[in-house]
A and B are shown apart, each in its own frame.
Chain A
Amino acid sequence: MPARPLTDPTTAGWARALLDNRQFASPIHALNPLTTVVLGGAALALALSLPSLVGAIALVLILAALAVAARSLGRLGRPALTAAAVLGGLIWLISIASGGAALDAARHAAEGALRVASIVLGVGLVATTVVPAALGLDLERRGVSRRFATGAVAGLGWGPGLARRLTAISAAQRARGLRLARDPLTRLRQSAPILLPALVTSLGGLSERTIALEARASGHPGRRSLLWAPPDPTGERLLRWLLLVVVGLSLVVRIAGRAG
């Protein structure tokens, strides 16, 4: 059941205030969260299905432009480059080792690197610009079950939550004298005093949160009422359909190409 419009003067005032209260870091952050999720999903599907090197280059350029618009290129660029370098290098090594020509090996490596960079940029855009709570509201407004929407919110919020907890515990352990070695294996062994408390506190927090949510009737059957939901302009709806069509066509071309 979609949320009913808030026509009562009091509730309409609050709904307006809740909407106006939102501040966006960029135009990408202001998109309807489902649009960003579809964008990320399309990037993932196109990265795997676009048939040519030119297509892969175009996809990376579009996603890099979106990351610039979202002011996230600084945060996403490094992991994208790292993943691209690692995968590209591996493909190049395997191609050379299996007797391939140097030019072909380079082309395959570049294509693989561009595809993985697209995936990192696409997923990263969703992770850095979608507010989980807004996505949950938007999904529920569209009729998705509360349980699924809550799962989506929890899933998107889990990574940043764990990162915050790890940062806090790392700072506390460093203050107690923990110094992590540069050698990765030693570093991993030394990370136990950080990882274990993070795991234990997250489990304890989960139990308390479950009780706190149950105390507010989270187990109540049926749909819950919504006070507001993110706007969904016609342009964005069209964009989502367009992306789905492009992904569909790309998959068809890819499958037809293989069959041919």
Chain B
Amino acid sequence: MLRLECRSYTYPGARVAALREIDLVVPHGGVVGVVGANESGKSSLCLVASGMAPGVVGGALEGRLEIDGETMTGRPVFEIAQRVGLGLANPVSQLSGQTLTVFEEVALGPMNLGLDAARTVQRVEAALAAVRIGHLALQPPTELSGGETQLVVIAGLLAMEPSHLILDEPTSELDPIGTRLVAEVLHELAHRGTALLIVEHRTDLLDGLCDRIVVMDSGRIVDEGPAETILGQPGIADRGIEPPARFRLSRALEAAGGAVGPGSLRQALGGWPHP
């Protein structure tokens, strides 16, 4: 179980804390979604929950990060990285630039840990299979689509064999095909019991994937509960969160009454985004 108790986290040079009074739990096998408007602290939450802040980013954390009861706060980042993986939005900037093939890119973590070749290969094969990109193993990582590249990044994290995976807007820079690719793999990982913490603006991706949803605003968790309850709240759009299509459609149908057609639906849905 990953537990973050954060009284405050402040970036280096900042006067105001980016996170306040956070108590977040991601149980083994659990899938937790994080939603909120821009600048609500979602990415900061990912950085702190993965140990990258203050470990790499710097800043001041009041509180502690625990994984399976062990305190991770203050430990070297390479140790925390073996317990919790962090994936960011832009897949290309997460490539190491040091490898010639997808296989080597995924192998980078185990190689950095100094694992022997047999264990490295075993981990890489398992990670490639988990995200279904075994066929890309000998491709150059720089010549893949955005969705495929994001899967390479996720495979690279899985090769570290973390118990928890944190993904900060994994589909925000992907086209619909890439989004679908990543979404399918996330469902597969969740089905296999990988604990996930996913920040996403696209609530349709979280709907059906997450057990729980955390709502953030101004660096705090302002609401938390089962995904069905939180995402189905009528007032969720007032917090800058687009409800999933099925909720919008259901309300649109309800509002349209008997006269359901493309025109009335567009009016009721507000035209954009389309369900």
Contact = CB atoms under 8 A, between A and B. Distances in A.
Interface of A: 4, 6, 8, 10-11, 14-15, 17-18, 21-22, 131-134, 136, 146, 150, 153-154, 157, 161, 204-205, 208-220, 222-227
B70 interface: no
B98 A216 contact: no
Nearest to A228: B104
A225 B76 contact: no
Contacts of B101: 18, 21
Interface string B95-132: 11111110110011111111111101110000000000
Contact of B88 (A132, A153, A211, A219): A211
A161 B97 contact: yes
A22 B103 CA distance: 13
Interface residues of B, number: 48
A134 B78 contact: no
Interface string B75-86: 011100110011
B144 interface: no
Contact of B104 (A212, A218, A227): A227
A133 B99 contact: yes
B153 interface: yes
A4 B81 CA distance: 26
A214 B77 contact: yes
Contacts of A223: 114
Given A133-B99, A216-B81, A224 B111 contact: yes
Nearest to A4: B117
Contacts of B14: none
B145 to A, nearest CB: 17
Given A214-B77, A216-B109, A227-B104, A11 B118 contact: yes
A93 to B, nearest CB: 43
Contact of B103 (A14, A136, A224): A14
A209 B94 contact: yes
Nearest to A6: B117
B113 A220 contact: yes
Contact of B85 (A154, A215, A219, A222): A215
B227 interface: no
Nearest to B112: A217
The listed residue with most B CB atoms (<10 A of its CB), out of A136, A218, A226, is A218
A214 B52 contact: yes
A211 B52 contact: yes
A205 B95 CA distance: 10
19 contacts: A11-B121, A18-B138, A21-B100, A133-B97, A134-B100, A157-B97, A208-B94, A209-B94, A212-B93, A212-B153, A214-B56, A215-B87, A216-B157, A217-B109, A218-B112, A223-B114, A224-B111, A224-B112, A225-B120
Contacts of A14: 103, 121
A132 B55 CA distance: 29
A213 B77 CA distance: 11
Contacts of A4: 116-117
Given A6-B117, A212-B94, A214-B55, A131 B112 contact: no
A150 B98 contact: yes
